[in-house]
Amino acid sequence: MLIVEDSIVSDDLAMACFCCDLQQCQGACCVEGDSGAPLDEEELATLESILPKVRPYMAEAGIAVVEQQGVAVRDEEGSLCTPLVESRECAYAIQENGLTLCAIEKAFRDGVIDYQKPVSCHLYPVRVEDFGEFRAVNYHRWDICRCAVQKGRETGVPLYQYLKEPLIRRFGEAWYEELCEEIAARRDR
């Protein structure tokens, strides 16, 4: 484990290679699973404010779920997350050319909103768990991402480098720089 500020970071971020291969997995992480994407409490207000601009990008089934359940729901453990269509895909998931994409991210890429997508989606396959005094930053291994692991090995891209932008978005530039320093120091030992 690595200690970075108030975070306990799994060695997997430095050791594992990862590079999403959307053409292979077709966005399965937006469809599979037993609950929606985890959300921070602050993201609830953001989702509510951007919904009118994201709505035109959404699938009809997703719109219906959000109208019925709201922009976010509580899962079985009481955690805030995106709602699901038929207990399966994220309400913000859309289909395009055989791929599952995010309506929020599509609106962002089109310059309609300035919020890219939920930070947990941006960080995936890294999951952050808050324990009050510290946070655990772990690599969530999921079989549907085996093509991303294979592509990561082929390209030699470590997980922490692949996720540089979302790690900085979540924790800040200083945190990321300290992570890189900790990884370099460990390699030098």
Q: What is the mean pLDDT of each run of 10 residues along the chain (189 residues)?
A: 93 93 87 88 95 97 97 92 93 94 96 96 93 93 90 93 96 97 85
Handedness of CA 141, 29, 124, 156 (dihedral sign): positive
83/100 Cα distance (integer angstroms):
16
115/121 Cα distance (integer angstroms):
12
Diameter of the chain by CA atoms? 55
Tokens for 49, please give them: 């404010």
The dihedrals phi and psi of 5, each to the nearest 5 degrees, come to 50, -120
Tokens for 98, please give them: 């055989």
93/29 Cα distance (integer angstroms):
10
> Which pLDDT does position 96 carry in this prediction?
93
> Which pLDDT does position 187 carry in this prediction?
78
> Which pLDDT does position 114 carry in this prediction?
96
**Contact indicator for 161, 144 with CB cutoff of 8 Å:** no
93/178 Cα distance (integer angstroms):
34
126/143 Cα distance (integer angstroms):
14
**Contact indicator for 96, 26 with CB cutoff of 8 Å:** no
> Which pLDDT does position 144 carry in this prediction?
87
Interior CA angle at 77 toward 74 and 78, to 5°? Answer: 35
Give the CB-side neighbour count of residue 76, counting CA atoms within 13 A.
3
